[in-house]
Chain A
Amino acid sequence: MSATDTPFERAGDPYRVGHGRDRVSEGSPRARYVYATGHGEGGPASKRVIVGYGFWIFLLSDIVMFSAFFAAHAVLQTATAGGPSGRELFNVTSIVLQTAFLLISSFTCGLSAVATEVRNQLWTQVALLVTGLFGLGFLVLEGRDFADMVMQGAGPDRSAFLSSLFAVVGLHGLHVSAGLLWLGTMMAQVFVKGFRPDILRRLVCFNLFWHALDIIWVALFTVVYLIGLGR
């Protein structure tokens, strides 16, 4: 296609819409427009951008789903129906430990990304393994808390407050479990197939996912536990 622009061509697009980033090429005696230079006008994005972008949209939708559960918990936080409240139930030591485990796992997940960046198979695997172990530790602690509460007769069927508590915390736990399954699969893939472009894209997505779980945990820690302890 010709790179010059004539008044005739301009007539179909009088405002030069979408050519805000067109520039007059330097050193040219006449104004000369260059086509398709700006963001989003240069044709389809690269696969890495597309995959990462799509995964971000997924994460946003996931956060919207969590927000519905958070809203439900906010509504039902005081609906204890004569049963125990958060102040009586929460095991602060365990919650602090869970937070620490999750944050450390996020840090090691970041380390795995650094190792991947230099294509180091061994350290990628080690960092992913440590991430997984801390994730597992988190799940064990959370499961123990849940079991304790059920033993005390404070299961999700006791009151609407406990229903929403078990649901929102459990949903996060379910995400961590799914993440662990993904992590294991990812480690096997990296081991068997090496750092192929599609594997690298998946590692990026996994990293995004694992950090998103941390973001959700920060909200959980605040809305469910900190505010819950104050009630």
Chain B
Amino acid sequence: MFGKLTWDAIPWSQPIPLVAGSVVVLIVLAVLAWVVLKGYLPYLWREWITSVDHKRIGVMYTLLGLVMLLRGFIDAIMMRSQQAIAFRAAGYLPPEHYDQIFSAHGTIMIFFAAMPIVIGLMNFAVPLQLGVRDVAFPTLNSTSLWLTATGALLVNISLVVGEFARTGWLVYPPLSELPYSPGVGVDYYLWALLISGVGTLMTGINFVTTILKIRAPGMSYLRMTIFCWTALAANLLIVAAFPVLTATLGMLALDRYLGFHFFTNEAGGNMMMFINLIWTWGHPEVYILVLPAFGIFSEVISTFSGKPLFNYRSMVAATMFICLVSYLVWMHHFFTMGAGADVNAFFGISTSIIAVGTGVKIYNWLFTMYGGRIRFTTPMLWSMGFLVTFVIGGMTGVLLAVPPADFVLHNSLFLVAHFHNVIIAGVIFAAFAGITYWFPKAFGFKLDEAWGKAAFWLTLLGFYVVFMPLYVAGLLGMTRRLQHYEVAAWRPWVLIAGFGIIIMMAAAACQVMQVVVSIRRREELRDATGDPWDGRSLEWATTSPPPPFNFAVLPNVRGAEAYWDMKQRAIEAQRLSPEPRYEPIEMPRNSPTGFITAFFSTLTGFALIWHIWWLVGVGIVAAYAVFVWFAWRDHVEYSIPAEEVARYDRERRRAREQWLAQHAGQPA
């Protein structure tokens, strides 16, 4: 009846996952109870869960990412503390548990923390910056969100029911094949990623279509913000890379479920093919994460330097260059495969060349700041911290791109330090910069600067204290994923890294405090004009938070910095542009399709993991039924009357006229 699922699946004898799992379950139940008792459930259902508004979906994506970031951070704390005490000792985490933790840490951080935050920020900002009302396929967008949530949920279920993979975050065969990983850990990994991967692919399709086909009048390609350009590049990469991930994990699933021999030891299987295929996805994935991060930094640095971005066109060219070349470097993840000197030389050179594109960007950001009137706000601090730190990570990357050096440093903590250096400084700093930058747009009030700055400085310090020692330990020969070790020379560096994680914990506490304090002080921090940072792109042209339709009338774009131009024209003429003629606006209706699809996907995924075949059948039939039901509905849009649009826009114009009065007589 329940396949492989029995009461033994719950780790009764292991206190750590049991207690952690129980606490999580209790928190979730408490939140649910609070929501139900306070009567918020109908509101949540109507305004958020079934919402197809790109801004709401963006906020939910980001929230999911932040929660999972915390989960992955707890894994990191456990690994650092284990290594700090496991010198010639067993430590407190048994090997089979420790192996699950480092696998879960990598999986969660990439797929369920970094990806949702990046996609969330794209969801929120891209349609606003393009000056339009929504993405190309709003209901599909909601489905993407909930399928990603399904993946995250499955990974978290593995904490209490069964186990997670013990194979590292990319489940290399043959270790991940059935004879060596007979448990459900790898299956949790496979189905969580296959399901959420479909969601990500649909996001990619949605955003490529949106950016290429839905822009405000006059918004030509070379007038889009750099964030839109990087979002376009990242989503092109998603469309071209995620199907490969799906195919590769699908093959591994066939091996494990139906006795296929793609990657097995026997019957002609070829495990190096898995490594090649997975990195064909894996390297573009790096740029799927970091290109939008570059976009966020471009927006932030330009805004807070009070200048247009230096050499916009070279920024576009560098972005598309990276987008293309990111496909030609995958083999640098396994130079030790033994492909021979010629192949290694090709990939070593292509890897070094990709640093040129990034170098162009670094100089452009520096020259944007040069001569500007820089305001040192929290997003700007994150961006400047990124510039310094990312350059270090980039240079160790070029070091690793040299095959002979890589043969020595492969699989060492030097590598671990390198990719944390680029991912934390690139993606996580960008995430916090972007969240602080667009928070007032999303919620109508700014985040508290004092706590935000404290969080920044502690994160920056904590980052250096954790990862610089790991570079040294790696050079001293310490390999990654060690549950315990015997070498005395590594000990001090591991201890310093362990101390650094305490600083990071303080930083995380500051982040939480920042949100709490900001919500309590929200009236003081209120953004009345919709343009709290003196911004340059179109998202600042509407109110904070924007209405469901974003813009009463689609803006007519006349220059590269659309909103900055509008403001300058208004100051010059000492009046706003004449009031437009308001028309009714058609908006897509809310739909529970995404949520219901994800519900049945969760059931199907869980059933596949535990071999509950009848439930698999139920899930698939139900998914088809939802699809038909969605296709059958007749009313897909609702209309917002012109009077309501006019009322909203006149209010916005009043706020802008006050702003204009304050800027009377200023030079344009």
Mark A residues whose CB is within 8 Å of B: 1, 8-9, 12-13, 17-19, 35-36, 38, 40-45, 49-50, 53-54, 57-58, 60-62, 64-65, 67-69, 71-72, 75-76, 79-81, 156-161, 163-164, 166-167, 181, 185, 189, 193, 198, 202
Contact = CB atoms under 8 A, between A and B. Distances in A.
A45 B558 CA distance: 19
A76 to B, nearest CB: 6
B261 A61 contact: no
A198 B636 contact: yes
B242 interface: yes
Interface stretch (B36-44, B61-69, B70-78, B204-212): B204-212
Contact of B247 (A38, A69, A185): A69
Given A12-B568, A40-B220, A65-B246, A163 B262 contact: yes
Contacts of A72: 247, 251, 262, 273, 277
A185 B243 contact: no
Contact of B631 (A65, A164, A185): A185
B648 interface: no
B262 A164 contact: yes
B213 A157 contact: no
Interface stretch (B252-260, B499-507, B525-533): B252-260
A43 B273 contact: no
Contacts of A18: 218-223
Given A1-B577, A41-B219, 15 more contacts: A35-B218, A41-B217, A41-B218, A43-B216, A44-B214, A57-B239, A58-B205, A65-B243, A68-B277, A75-B273, A156-B259, A160-B264, A163-B261, A163-B269, A166-B260
Interface string B380-395: 0000000000000000
Contacts of A12: 558-561, 564-565, 568
Q: Which of A18, A80, A156, A159 has the most CB of B within 10 A?
A: A18
Given A61-B201, A81-B268, A167-B254, A42 B217 contact: yes
Contacts of B247: 65, 68-69, 72
A185 B628 contact: yes
Given A61-B243, A65-B246, A54 B565 contact: no
A interface, over-half SS: helix
B136 interface: yes
Nearest to A12: B559
Contacts of A58: 205
B556 A35 contact: yes
A160 B636 contact: no
A44 B213 contact: yes
A147 B473 CA distance: 57
Given A8-B572, A18-B218, A157-B258, A61 B239 contact: yes
Contacts of A43: 215-217, 554
B443 interface: no
Contacts of B243: 61-62, 64-65, 68
B577 to A, nearest CB: 8
Nearest to A21: B220
Shortest beta-carbon contacts, A-B, top 4: A18-B220, A79-B268, A160-B268, A65-B243
A101 B292 CA distance: 46
Contact of A53 (B132, B213, B564, B568): B213
Contacts of A1: 556, 558, 577
B624 interface: yes
Given A72-B277, A185-B628, A189-B631, A44 B206 contact: no
A54 B559 contact: no
A210 B295 CA distance: 38
Contacts, number: 172
Contacts of A158: 267
B267 A65 contact: no
Which of B136, B215, B222, B267 is most buried by chain A, counting CB atoms within 10 A of its CB? Answer: B267
A194 B239 CA distance: 33
Query: Which of B209, B212, B273 gathers the greatest number of chain A CB atoms within 10 Å?
Result: B209
Given A18-B222, A50-B214, A57-B205, A13 B270 contact: no
A1 B213 CA distance: 23
A160 B212 CA distance: 42
A54 B136 contact: yes
Nearest to B556: A1
B496 interface: no
Contacts of A44: 132, 213-216, 554
Nearest to B277: A68
A54 B636 contact: no
Contact of B270 (A17, A61, A76, A202): A76
A82 to B, nearest CB: 9
Of listed A8, A68, A157, residue having the most chain B CB within 10 A: A68
B556 A61 contact: no
B558 A61 contact: no
A151 to B, nearest CB: 17
A156 B259 CA distance: 7
A54 B209 contact: yes
A50 B221 CA distance: 17
Nearest to B137: A54
Contacts of A189: 631-632
B261 A160 contact: yes
Given A68-B248, A75-B273, A80-B268, A13 B559 contact: yes
Contacts of B273: 72, 75-76
B240 interface: yes
